[in-house]
Structure 1
Amino acid sequence: MRPLFLLLLSATFIFSACDPDSEEGRGNLDLTFKATYQDAPLVMFDQVYNYPDGSPLKFQLFNYYVSDITLIKEGSTEGQLVSEVELINYEDFYDVATAEQGVKLSFTDLEPGVYTGIKIGLGLTGELNATQPGDYAAGHPLSQNFWSWARGYVFAKVEARADLDGDGQFSDPLTYHIGKDELFTTLTMNKPLIIQKDNPASMTFTVDLYDILSRDGNYLDINIQENTQDHTNNVAIYGWLWENLSNAFEINN
């Protein structure tokens, strides 16, 4: 792998061929978010996976918010805001082909230049979490996933059904809904890229759901009823799962 400073130097030379303030104009960026389970594409409902203890399970829902997506600009303490908030939702991924494509977000009219990486907020800032769906138009990321009783949004959802008794019925629900101001986490990932006209830049991120449910050989014992669901009530469950999600979020090289 080439050292980071050499990649940045190469990117600078390439970009210097055009003046960022000239008629070259603004640029575009594609961000793709993929979900996997033990490195296999994450498919909802029909695909059978194994929980860390070996129990068969089928996933029904996986989503999470990302916010304050910001490109880090070379030589500047200020970044370029790409998006205030997005809901990354895999609930309609019913086959491998769709799951392999991931959730693709496209952004236009970005300031051209050489960037060293990206910052992504996992969850919602306190300011965003203090709003409610009625503040937004239908289709906006914050027009859903709201807890009226908790006065805030669900930052992430994992829902599945397990077959704990081996009868093939998948009748044991697993439900984890996580959301709380203090959980907001800023992830900084280094990867050089160039924003310029007529040459869209791209980044791909991956989250492996197995790594959210298991860490260093540890996992929730879902044969214990209290461990099969949590709505940000038991910090031993939601805090552990959220930390795992933060650690599982990776940028592809």
Structure 2
Amino acid sequence: MKFSSFRTLALISLLGLALTACEEDKNTPSNEEGALNMMFEYAVDGMPFDTATVYTIGGTAVKFSVANFYVGGIQFMPEEGDMLDVAGKYLLVTPESGMQEVASVKTGHYHMARFFVGVDSITNSQTEEDFTSRDAADPLAVQFPAMHWNWNSGYRFLRVDGKVDTDGDGMVDETMAFHLGTNPMLQNLEYTVHKDVETGSNMLHFEFDLARLFNGIDLSTDYVTHTGNNPELAAAVRDNISSAIAVKH
């Protein structure tokens, strides 16, 4: 009988230790990491983007040839802990860029993503040598089509080119150019993403809709800005960026 009681107590003690160990494992933060990447899917009023297609935006026929922009200042907010700053990371987003690597982060739930469309003021004021010496694989290096005016004018934060219909006959007839740059054109953005990051590859999926980018703009009359020559039009496009980009689930 004494032996049986001793054995019972031993089993209870072992069970208690096992439960404690499980609880400790549950409360111990994971050290595992996963790749957190970003993708911007292009659209025009919800339709797939295609440079061969003539779209109608605000009653005006539009055809796109270039639609590129820079993303920087990337930050991710985890469920627990401080905001993760992906320092110095830039993406050159194009219709062909697809999913791009951003950072390796701890697994877990992420509430929010922050980034800006543009280039930070220090990088935007770099010397000619700084700019021309960048590695060809660097998104901030020389690009074609050009995303930089010259070494003392800075980057084109967003470049959208194409043709528009200016006489209402449904045929595109004039060259369209929206080139946004200079420090005041940088646009800070914040999105609720609710992303569970697991080991392996994980993607934050965004939509970039060019119809929303030109919301409230009459493209039949206002279709050219290189920022300095028409700052009001450039500012109107800049202010639409936050609604043009949306989280896609």
In which range does the TM-score fall when normalised by the shorter chain?
0.7 to 0.9
Q: Tell me which residue corresponds to 1:141.
A: 139
Q: Are residues 83 and 35 of structure 1, via their aligned partners in 2, closer, same or farther at CA, if it must alter by over 3 Å?
A: farther
Q: Distance in 2 between matches of 1:168 and 1:188?
A: 37
Amino acid aligned to 2:107: P
Structure-2 residue corresponding to 1:160: 162
Distance 1:16 1:120 in 2: 33
Cα 1:166/1:188, change in 2 over 3 Å: closer
Check if 1:117 corresponds to 2:112: yes
Corresponding residue for residue 204 of structure 1: 205
Aligned to 1:243, the other structure's residue is in SS state helix
| Equivalent pair of 1:70/1:83 in contact (CA under 8 Å) | no
C-alpha change, 1:109 and 1:51, in structure 2 (3 Å) is closer
For residue 141 of structure 1, report the CA deviation from its aligned partner. Answer: 0.7
**Displacement of 1:122 after TM fit?**
1.5
- For the structure 1 residues 168 and 186, does the alpha-carbon distance in structure 2 shift closer, same or farther, using more than 3 Å as the test? closer
Aligned to 2:185: 183
Q: Unpaired runs of 5+ in structure 1?
A: 1-14, 93-101
Range that drifts further, 80-89 or 162-171? 162-171
What TM-score results when the alignment is normalised by the length of structure 2?
0.77
Equivalent residue letter for 1:51: I
Q: Counterparts of 2:105 and 2:205 in 1: how far apart (Å)?
A: 18
Decide which moves more: 34-43 or 124-133. Answer: 124-133
Do residues 103 (structure 1) and 98 (structure 2) align?
Answer: yes
Rg: which structure is higher?
A: 2
1:27 aligns with 34
Is the Cα–Cα contact under 8 Å of residues 57 and 162 in structure 1 kept in the other structure?
Answer: yes
CA–CA distance in structure 2, aligned partners of residues 83 and 40 of structure 1: 33
Give the CA deviation at 1:176: 0.9
Kindly provide the amino acid, as one letter, of the partner of residue 69 in structure 1: I
- Structure 2: gaps spanning 5 or more residues: 1-24
Equivalent position amino acid for 2:206 in 1: F
Aligned equivalents of 1:231 and 1:178: distance in 2?
6
Aligned equivalents of 1:157, 1:232: Cα separation in 2: 11
Counting matched residue pairs gives 217
User: Is 1:251 equivalent to 2:242 in the alignment?
Assistant: no
- TM-score when normalising by structure 1: 0.76
Match of residue 235, structure 1, among 213, 231, 235: 231
Instruction: Assess, with a 3 A threshold, how the Cα gap between structure 1 residues 169 and 220 changes in structure 2: closer, same or farther.
Output: closer
The AA in structure 1 aligned to 2:53 is: Q
SS in 1 for 2:237: helix
1:96 is matched with none
Q: CA distance change for structure 1 residues 49 and 248 in 2, over 3 Å: closer, same or farther?
A: same
Structure-2 change in CA distance of 1:193 and 1:236 (3 Å): same
- d(CA) in 2 for partners of 1:181 and 1:158? 18
Deviation at 1:197, TM superposition (A): 2.1
CA distance 1:49–1:169, shift in 2 (3 Å): closer
Q: What SS does the corresponding residue of 2:123 show, helix, strand or coil?
A: helix
Checking the alignment, whether the CA contact within 8 Å between 2:115 and 2:188 is kept in structure 1 is yes
